[in-house]
Amino acid sequence: MKIYHNINDFKPVPNPIVTVGTFDGVHLGHQAILKKMIDEARKIGGETVVLTFYPHPRQVLHGDNSLRITSQEKKIELLDQLGIDNLIVINFTKEFSRTTSEQFIKKYIIEGIHPVKLIVGYDHHFGKNRMGDYNLLFDLSTQYNFKLEHIPARNVENIAVSSTKIRNALTQGNVGRANSLLGYQYTIYGNVSHGNGLGRTFGFPTANIEIPDEYKLIAARGVYACFVDYKGIAYQGMANIGLRPTISDYGVLLVEVNIFDFDQDIYGETIGIRFVERLRDEKKFDSKELLISQLIDDRKQAKTILEQQK
């Protein structure tokens, strides 16, 4: 996949099939649009072009710092894996946000890409104050002579898939629902750092995770069954997102994971934690013995859940 960070650097391609959006999460709804683009491009010997934005518009306009389902790097990786040919990443600024809908289509789509077809989702809005919609696109498609297709909502269990609904599910700890809407497992990537080592004294050593993406959306506090990806191998484990109230009173949110049947030194290494199901709320126990008893039950429950994923 070719990546451009300025519309002026984009090199003309044959019969461009184009879409526009933030594509946070690259969820099943997004995938329906992207797969349709790829099919259309193959039919006419064309290439697919995705135009997206970075940083996320809400981050720039509203200061929302806990927003992204996927990091920019992961989003690019997912688009590449799906088979997109060209990606244009527009630097989203407050100045850019004042671009009107008509100006945006003319400069970035018509003059910048010269599409033969534009494919958009059911709730697509664009331009200043998100005033542009499908009706405006329809008028512009006639004026500038490009085809237009509107992809209906992708429904999962009678729920229209959207990034907002996935964010809501994650903030409620419902990773099962989020995963069903994403089409893959919600994942946190990070570097393993040294903790205080208390988990090892309980028989449950944990890897503390430093998350390099400060704008990554972190799921609700609690204990989760998960897979841990390390050097191409998926290990079973259970993760905790929370404050560790039984053994610490620092009040700092931590992401840590106990990897089952694993005894390697991975300090400084990067791992991915794929969340499968939330086991319970985080809670404060009256003693370390009660905590250990609960952790034993958590591990048993997590293993049962994860075995069913094979």
Please report the domains of the chain, with CATH numbers, ordered by start residue: 13-160 (3.40.50.620), 185-307 (2.40.30.30)
User: Using CA atoms, how far apart are residues 310 and 294, in angstroms rounded to an integer?
Assistant: 25
Cβ(57)–Cβ(92) under 8 Å? yes
Nearest in space to 256 (alpha carbons), one of 178, 174, 197, 300: 197
pLDDT at 263: 86
Give the lowest-confidence range in 197-201, 263-267, 295-299. 197-201
207 strand-pairing partners:
257
User: Using CA atoms, how far apart are residues 170 and 189, in angstroms rounded to an integer?
Assistant: 16
249 pLDDT more than 70: no
pLDDT in tens, 63-121: 766 678 998 999 999 999 999 999 999 999 999 989 888 899 999 999 999 999 999 88
171 pLDDT more than 60: yes
Strands 117-121 and 86-91: unpaired
pLDDT at 60: 86
When pLDDT is averaged across residues 232-249 and rounded to a whole number, the result is 82
pLDDT at 238: 97
Assign 213 a pLDDT band (cuts: 50, 70, 90).
confident
pTM of the predicted model as reported, rounded to 2 decimal places: 0.89
| HEC per residue, 248-298 | CCCCCCEEEEEECCCCCCCCCCEEEEEEEEEEECCCCCCCHHHHHHHHHHH
Assign 193 a pLDDT band (cuts: 50, 70, 90).
confident
User: Using CA atoms, how far apart are residues 308 and 30, in angstroms rounded to an integer?
Assistant: 28
User: Using CA atoms, how far apart are residues 151 and 32, in angstroms rounded to an integer?
Assistant: 8
Cβ(13)–Cβ(112) under 8 Å? no
pLDDT at 275: 98
User: Using CA atoms, how far apart are residues 89 and 81, in angstroms rounded to an integer?
Assistant: 17
DSSP 96: H
- As a whole-number percent, the residues of the chain with pLDDT over 70 amount to 89
DSSP 14: S
Question: Which element (helix H / strand E) includes 300?
Answer: helix 288-307
Amino acid at 59: Q
The residue with greater pLDDT, 253 or 259, is 259
3-class state of residue 128 by DSSP: helix
When pLDDT is averaged across residues 17-44 and rounded to a whole number, the result is 95
